[in-house]
Chain A
Amino acid sequence: MKRFLPYCLGFLVFLFFSFSVISAQDFDFNRSFNDYIYNYNLYRSAHLEYITAKSEFQTYNTLTSQTKALEATRKLLQQRDEALKTYLTALRMKLKEETGITSYKQNLYFVKLDDEVAWISQHQSLLTSPSTIEDLLEQSEKMENRYPTTTVISYQTLGTILEGKENSLRDKVNNLVKLTEEKINEIRANNEDTTIVERWLIEAKQKMTLSEQKQSQAIAVINTIEAKDSDKAEKYDQAKLLFEESNQYLKEAISFLKEIIREVKRV
């Protein structure tokens, strides 16, 4: 019997790690996003309860209404932390699944997001112990002070996700530009006139340059967002617009390449 004990233990360890791997694989962006939506809805319910309890407490100012308000506030703060935590986790998963981001930048934002989640978890644990309204409000103020930094990280991560999408698309367009150029060279080597298509190719390349410039501008705008800013959302919207303009140039480059191919296919 003792002979089989190591094998049994080994099998159990194998099973444990297999389940861990499967569970890690299952947790993707969609799952994390659903978690966030679920928790955000719970937060909204908690917020409604808090508003009602607060109103009752302010009207009657009794011990019962005070206890009710205390509990409603605690629930709200806990649920607010949970909603924010799951939101940041969803953002992290989206960043993880985006392929066009450099690993350096990806890791940089992983660290920043993980720090925020760790801070919120720690903050959340302080809300579980019995406390007074003053204690709860003090904890809420800590979050109030932290939240602008969390928002900056959120917008910067979102900007990085958009940058990744654009990078990925631009790489593909660049690859097609390269293939088209090779094909034009091949045609020219066959003593055929390629003057027009060569000129068009230069214009397609110019569109690629313009696309890169717009993206650089978008990243620059994202990098200017600071915790003290009151117009973080506006700056992010401005960056989004620049990303769209960058995308428009890619579309135009594709359109030019299509014209080149059409020209190549005719006598």
Chain B
Amino acid sequence: MFLLPLMFLIIFILLLVTIKKKMPTSTTLSPGQIPTPTPAEFFLPSRWATDAGVLKIETGLSELEDKLKTVDLQEVQLQPPILDIEVKL
């Protein structure tokens, strides 16, 4: 007699548990978890930090680094064309 309502109750509880699991978890941080920025690396500049030669090398390195990143060493568009060489009738 009580078997059917009991089954309904169990199914209802299971559904509730599943829905709760699927619900998005909160994205807000708890008071203890406040993000902090990565501390910037500070250093005392040497007398060479403003030296014209050093700055010239530094600029040259940055420019060359960009060139090395963008250089095309594939040349895909210049691969030999695909041609039907064996023409037969």
Contact = CB atoms under 8 A, between A and B. Distances in A.
Secondary structure dominating the interface of A: helix
Contacts of B79: 158, 233
Nearest to A150: B80
Secondary structure dominating the interface of B: loop
Interface stretch (B8-16, B23-31, B53-61): B53-61
B83 A83 contact: yes
Given A84-B83, A264-B48, A169 B71 contact: yes
User: 6 closest Cβ contacts across the A-B interface?
Assistant: A265-B49, A266-B43, A140-B87, A267-B44, A154-B80, A267-B46
A179 B48 contact: no
Given A54-B89, A176-B61, A264-B48, A161 B56 contact: no
Interface string A22-59: 00000000000100000010010001001000100110
A254 B85 contact: no
Report the contact-size class of chain B (Cβ under 8 Å from the partner): 35 or more
Interface of B: 43-46, 48-49, 51, 53-54, 56-58, 60-61, 64-65, 67-69, 71-75, 77-81, 83-89
B43 A267 contact: yes
